[in-house]
Amino acid sequence: MRKIILSTESGADLPSDLAEKHKIQVVPMHIIMGGEDYEDGSLPVEDIYDYYERTKNIPSTTATNVHEYQEFFAKIQGKFPDCSIVHVGYTSKASSSFQNAVIAADEFEDIHLIDALNVTGGLAAIVLHAADLLEKQPDIEPDKLVENIEISVPKARLAFIPGSLEFLKAGGRVSNMGSLIGTLLKIKPRIDLKNGKLMSTKKYRGKMSGASEKLFRDYLSEFDIDREQLYFIYSLGLDEKIKQRMEEVAGENGFQHIRWVQAGGMISTHSGPGGFGVAGLERGVRPASENSSE
């Protein structure tokens, strides 16, 4: 049978060691800074923050274009002849990247596309869940794997507090951003992915240390997250003491494995330095074959 290759965008912030371990192929999105176009991942995140400090201008981002996807898919099929590609994409509600993948895939055979309706750690959680399924069932048919991944999409939960309101406003990706304009610096907005869209859902008062813990505890009370795996997302500049405290709280709540995911250039351009987030899959995300037998 055909070998299945998983792929996703750089906006998943997939840790490089896990991408290498599971042979997940990652196509870069883009950062526009100082009139130059950079592939996401090609420059240190610190350069983005340094650029803002020097110029007070926040870089913009663009999607992977159709031609880049054509080259990306062709390269995968060249490296893995006769493979089936299962591409789990960045939410179509916040970027044209997924639609560009759809257009590009029309020229190829055996490419399966899934709109994850998620970003950063939420997208990574779905992709790594798919990798786990594939590892446990190496002979699974592509259609069955796609079915199982699609079950996980509405179960992926992402919530985060951006490190900078200025970066968030400049990004323009939050649907109800107007509700945040004029807030005091001590207000920390919580952003959730809802139906693929970034939405401001709550505001926390005080320092990031207190706000991050409130966010995490609220998140756990709202969602029945699978205790097997949890993802914490951070942008450079987050206090190490906050990280330690979040791990303590996660341990107290029974999480077996915790993985920190650093926001890359694409996400950091929208969230700013010192941001914190959490992502996971709600319980009940089981292979379709198990669900259908009940």
pLDDT of residue 164: 76
Phi, psi of 116 (to 5 degrees): -75, -15
Domain 156-281 has CATH 3.30.1180.10: yes
Mean of pLDDT values over 266-272:
89
pLDDT of residue 172: 54
Q: Average pLDDT over the chain, rounded to whole?
A: 91
286 pLDDT band, cuts 50/70/90, is low
pLDDT of residue 241: 98
43-72 pLDDT tens trace: 999 999 999 999 988 899 999 999 999 999
Among 224, 218, 243, which Cα is nearest to 233's? 243
Buried b (16+ CB within 10 A) or exposed e, 178-206: eebeeeeeeebbbbbbeebebebeebbee
Mean of pLDDT values over 84-103:
97
167 membership: H or E segment, kind and range = helix 165-171
Stretch(es) of the chain classified as CATH 3.40.50.10440? 4-32+61-154
pLDDT greater than 70 at residue 142: yes
Better pLDDT: 284 or 261: 261
Q: Which residues pair with 260 in a beta bridge?
A: 232
- 4-32+61-154: which CATH topology? Rossmann fold (3.40.50)
pLDDT of residue 292: 38
Mean of pLDDT values over 22-42:
96
Q: Find the length of the chain.
A: 294
pLDDT greater than 70 at residue 170: no
179-222 pLDDT tens trace: 454 444 568 889 999 999 989 899 998 899 999 999 999 999 99
pLDDT of residue 249: 98
Stretch(es) of the chain classified as CATH 3.30.1180.10? 156-281
Bridging pattern class, strands 84-89 and 60-62: unpaired
Q: What is the pTM of this model?
A: 0.92
pLDDT of residue 284: 80
291 pLDDT band, cuts 50/70/90, is very low
Mean of pLDDT values over 67-89:
97
21 pLDDT band, cuts 50/70/90, is very high
Cα atoms in the Cβ-side hemisphere of radius 13 Å centred on 125: 36
> Cα–Cα distance between 144 and 147 in angstroms, integer?
5
pLDDT of residue 288: 54
* Residues contacting 139, CB < 8 A, separation 6+: 1
pLDDT of residue 181: 46
Phi, psi of 64 (to 5 degrees): -65, 130
